């Protein structure tokens, strides 16, 4: 999509868990080529929002459109097929498998099915293509030449890069990242920020949940702020920083 085009719209999105309203009539738009931060205190509803956008959970009410399609009731797999990719708040790698195999797994509709199982019905041409792409994506995150190391042997920062490589299989339009910088050292965060900026210049649209304010403020074009399930405000980093509601709820308090 052309830079600036609206690729995702969340409209009056609500998610209830029993009596708890985890997401309360939240709406926003995401434009192609932007890095958008989703911030807010613990329990604000950020991960739930990501689950709703990616089809991992069903909306209670409201709607989501992505790439000009109503995806409100679409499966996670079908939304992924339209170009949505994600990583999770907790690392979901296979520690006993190689970097290459971990990334190649991203080719399988991002389900939990293993490549070995899926591999039984892969023809050789398809297999070659997938492993070639896995090498390309590993190189893209700076892990060229390390294909055969085991994922479990990597420091956390490198595991996060590996997860991003996996999510990049099949060239997503939009990448949704839930706390990719959590637990990383300062130098690792710098590497991650550089990669995300590189992906943006390659045309990937990014939405990111992140707690480290310096990290997120220096990275994103725009922020959506949530608090107790509701959208508190949205705007560019400077506007969010000086907003008194945000300061009271989150930043300064
Ligand atoms: P955040 O990612 O902003 O920290 P979450 O989206 O994880 O917040 O959670 C928002 C609220 O919804 C919290 O009160 C959390 O306990 C609740 N919640 C999240 N997932 C579930 C679930 N599957 N069942 C019940 N409550 C949930
Ligand atoms: Mg969360």
Residue with token string 């293993």 = 114
Question: Which residues contact residue 6 at a Cβ distance below 8 angstroms, ignoring those fewer than 6 apart?
Answer: 29, 30, 31, 32
**Same structural domain, 221 and 97:** no
Instruction: Summarize the confidence of residues 22-48 as an average pLDDT.
Output: 96
Length of the chain (residues):
253
Q: 243 by DSSP, 3-state: which?
A: coil
Q: Model confidence at 87, in pLDDT bands (50, 70, 90)?
A: confident
Distinct helix (H) and strand (E) counts, the chain: 10, 10
**Same structural domain, 193 and 76:** yes
pLDDT, tens digit (0-9, with 9 covering 90-100), for 170-195: 789 999 999 999 999 999 999 999 99
- Is 22's C-beta closer than 6 angstroms to any atom of ligand 1? yes
Last residue of a domain, one of 152, 171, 190: 171
What is the number of the ligand 1 atom nearest to the C-alpha of 209? 2
Last residue of a domain, one of 171, 199, 226: 171
Residues of the domain holding 156 = 91-171
What is the pTM assigned to this prediction? 0.91
**Same structural domain, 184 and 165:** no
pLDDT at 231: 97
pLDDT over threshold 60, residue 110: no
Residue with token string 């989501």 = 64
Q: Count up the domains in the chain and report the number.
A: 2
CATH of the domain at 227: 3.40.50.300
| Average pLDDT in the chain | 91
Q: 210 by DSSP, 3-state: which?
A: coil
**Residues paired with residue 30 on neighbouring β-strands, in sequence order:** 8
**Same structural domain, 24 and 54:** yes
**Same structural domain, 78 and 178:** yes
pLDDT at 118: 53
pLDDT over threshold 60, residue 109: no
CA atoms within 13 A on the CB side of 229: 13
Question: Which residues contact residue 214 at a Cβ distance below 8 angstroms, ignoring those fewer than 6 apart?
Answer: none
pLDDT over threshold 70, residue 253: no
Last residue of a domain, one of 171, 203, 221: 171
- Is 41's C-beta closer than 6 angstroms to any atom of ligand 1? no
Q: Model confidence at 251, in pLDDT bands (50, 70, 90)?
A: low
- Other Cβ atoms closer than 10 A to 103: 31
What is the number of the ligand 1 atom nearest to the C-alpha of 50? 6
């Amino acid at each position: 999509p052309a830079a600036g085009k609206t690729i995702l719209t969340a409209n009056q999105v609500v998610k209830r868990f029993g009596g708890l309203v985890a997401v309360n009539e939240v709406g926003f738009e995401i434009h192609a080529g932007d890095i958008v931060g989703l911030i807010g205190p613990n329990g604000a509803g950020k991960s739930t929002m990501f689950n709703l956008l990616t089809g991992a959970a069903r909306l209670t009410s409201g709607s989501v459109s992505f790439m000009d399609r109503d995806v409100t009731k679409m499966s996670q797999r079908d939304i992924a097929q339209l170009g949505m990719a994600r990583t999770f708040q907790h690392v979901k790698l296979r520690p006993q498998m190689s970097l290459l195999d971990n990334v190649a797994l991203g080719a399988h509709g991002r389900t939990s099915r293993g490549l070995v199982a899926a591999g039984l019905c892969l023809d050789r041409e398809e297999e070659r293509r997938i492993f070639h792409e896995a090498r390309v994506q590993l190189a893209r995150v700076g892990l060229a030449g390390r294909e055969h190391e085991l994922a479990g042997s990597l420091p956390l920062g490198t595991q996060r890069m590996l997860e991003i490589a996996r999510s990049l299989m099949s060239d997503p339009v939009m990448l949704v990242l839930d706390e990719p910088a959590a637990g990383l050292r300062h130098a690792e965060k710098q590497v991650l920020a550089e990669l995300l900026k590189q992906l943006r210049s390659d045309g990937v649209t990014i939405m990111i949940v992140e707690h480290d304010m310096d990290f997120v403020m220096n990275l994103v074009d725009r922020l959506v702020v949530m608090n107790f399930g509701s959208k508190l405000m949205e705007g560019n980093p400077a506007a969010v920083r000086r907003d008194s509601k945000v300061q009271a709820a989150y930043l300064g308090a």
